[in-house]
């Protein structure tokens, strides 16, 4: 296993921790962290239900926090780690924020906008194109979601 993959897995574990925080609130377990020069400068987890905010996805929260941490809206030199393939809104915010790289855990066949349903990030249509890697700890990231929705269905059918 090469150093880069080990490092990616290390930060994806931090994103998974964020997903678990969301889950502890009853939110869909999705988490993200943003790394610059080896340091985590921002964290985010899905907070849609509790914040009553349709835009409160893990990536958007982390991007806004990273911009605050850096004192500017350009996240140049940053890598975003997220446990699930971003939706169109989050994929769009990734392009707008100029992050260098996006590392994705599990793919989202039904709603993903980095290759599954559409691809907003890996296109020359917009004025920034981050590098993308997928499948980092995909199984762990995906199991969290599968178990969350299985539990939700179980509660609903009781």
Binding-site annotation: residue ranges: 57, 87, 90
Phi, psi of 128 (to 5 degrees): -155, 140
CB atoms within 10 A of CB 110: 8
- Binding of its own copies by 72 (CB under 8 A): yes
The residues that bridge with 102 in the sheet, in sequence order, are 80, 132
Sequence-distant (≥ 6) Cβ neighbours of residue 78 within 8 angstroms? 34, 35, 36, 41, 66, 97, 99, 100, 101
- Binding-site residues for Zn(2+), in ranges, read 57, 87, 90
Angle made by CA atoms 20, 23, 27, in degrees to the nearest 5: 135
Mark residues 104-133: x for contact with its own copies by CB under 8 A, - for none. Answer: -------x-x---xx-x----xxx------
Burial class (CB in 10 A: 0-12, 13-18, 19+), 127: exposed
Among the listed residues 9, 13, 20, 64, the single contact to its own copies using CB under 8 A: 64
Query: Is 59 assigned a catalytic role?
Result: yes
Which one of the listed residues 18, 27, 59, 85 is annotated catalytic? 59
- Binding of its own copies by 149 (CB under 8 A): no
Looking at 16-24, 37-45, 96-104, 148-156, which segment touches its own copies (CB under 8 A)?
Answer: 96-104
Residues that bind its own copies (CB under 8 A): 48-49, 51-56, 60, 63-64, 67-68, 71-75, 87-93, 95-98, 111, 113, 117-118, 120, 125-127
């Amino acid at each position: 296993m090469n150093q880069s993959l080990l490092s990616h897995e290390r930060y994806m574990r931090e994103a998974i921790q964020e997903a678990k925080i969301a889950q502890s609130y009853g939110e869909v377990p999705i988490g993200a962290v943003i790394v610059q020069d080896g340091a985590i400068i921002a964290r985010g987890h899905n907070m849609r239900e509790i914040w009553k905010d349709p835009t409160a996805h893990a990536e958007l929260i982390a991007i806004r926090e990273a911009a605050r941490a850096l004192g500017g809206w350009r996240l140049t030199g940053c890598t975003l780690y997220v446990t699930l393939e971003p939706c169109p809104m989050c994929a769009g915010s990734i392009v707008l924020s100029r992050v260098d790289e996006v590392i994705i855990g599990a793919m989202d066949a039904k709603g993903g906008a980095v290759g599954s349903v559409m691809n907003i990030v890996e296109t020359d249509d917009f004025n920034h194109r981050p590098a993308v890697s997928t499948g980092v700890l995909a199984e762990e990231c995906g199991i969290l979601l599968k178990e969350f929705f299985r539990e939700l269905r179980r509660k609903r059918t009781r």
